[in-house]
Structure 1
Amino acid sequence: MAQFYRLRVHHRQTGEIHDLTVASDRYILHQAEHQGYELPFSCRNGACTSCAVRIRSGEVFQPEAVGLSQELRDRGYALLCVSYARSDLEVETQDEDEVYELQFGRYFGGGRVRFGLPLEDD
């Protein structure tokens, strides 16, 4: 049987704060949308970082978050499209590029990748 939890979302991109109730057996993003809230997302499969949030308090279960390293999960990041609430939560949306840089910056930090297909100059 599902448990219900309070969720507070600090939406950095819009400056809004959303308060809603989520069930423990359904994806958080899906539930937020059904309650009329628009949150960032892209793939809906846990493969990108568009729906990434930083957990301020609480706990989620996200076994399908393949697009988020264990290191970032341990640092309090979650992907709402494949996360289940496990307690009352307070989260803050993130900028996709910011999370991508945290996860992959060490691999691409030296500049643009020069192998593979040629990149056009900006």
Structure 2
Amino acid sequence: MPLTHTITVRDRATGTTHILEVPENRYILHSAEHQGSELPFSCRNGACTTCAVRVISGEIHQPEAIGLSPELRKQGYALLCVSYARSDLEVETQDEDEVYELQFGRFFAKGRVRAGFPLDED
């Protein structure tokens, strides 16, 4: 029988708090859905930033979170769709656009791109 951890998710967008019991071998988002909690998500495979959270306390494991750079992971960001609890956790949902900008902003919105280099505006 896998260990189970208590996960507290503070949803900034709705002002609600979800308390979940999540086995170590199940994705947090999947467990939340099975417990009736509606949390933000989109791709379900760790490639976007819709389900991004900031870890307030506890330990999380997310080997499949390709949508987050190692730098953002070190800053405490995680993607619930591909995250496993390794202890009791407290997390807070994040604004998808803010996390997307942190993750991909250096590549986009810098003007037109050709061959990997921004061009001067015409």
1:114 correspondence with 2:112: yes
Q: Report matched runs for 1:37-56 at 5 Å.
A: 37-56=37-56
RMSD of equivalent CA atoms? 1.2
Offset at residue 90 of structure 1 (A): 0.1
Give the unaligned 5+ runs of structure 1.
117-122
SS across alignment from 1:13: coil
C-alpha distance in structure 1 between counterparts of 2:78 and 2:41, whole Å: 12
TM-score after normalising by structure 2: 0.88
Partner of 2:120: none
Percent of paired sites with the same residue: 70
Once the two structures are superposed, what CA deviation does each residue of 1:21-55 show, in whole Å capped at 9, x if it has no partner?
11000000000000000000000000001000000
- What amino acid maps onto 1:115 in structure 2? V
Offset at residue 20 of structure 1 (A): 1.3
Offset at residue 102 of structure 1 (A): 1.2
Partner of 2:80: 80
Give the unaligned 5+ runs of structure 2.
115-122
C-alpha distance in structure 1 between counterparts of 2:82 and 2:23, whole Å: 13
C-alpha distance in structure 2 between counterparts of 1:74 and 1:112, whole Å: 26
Q: Paired residues, what number?
A: 114
Offset at residue 112 of structure 1 (A): 4.7
- What amino acid maps onto 1:44 in structure 2? R
Partner of 1:68: 68
- What amino acid maps onto 1:113 in structure 2? G
Partner of 2:89: 89
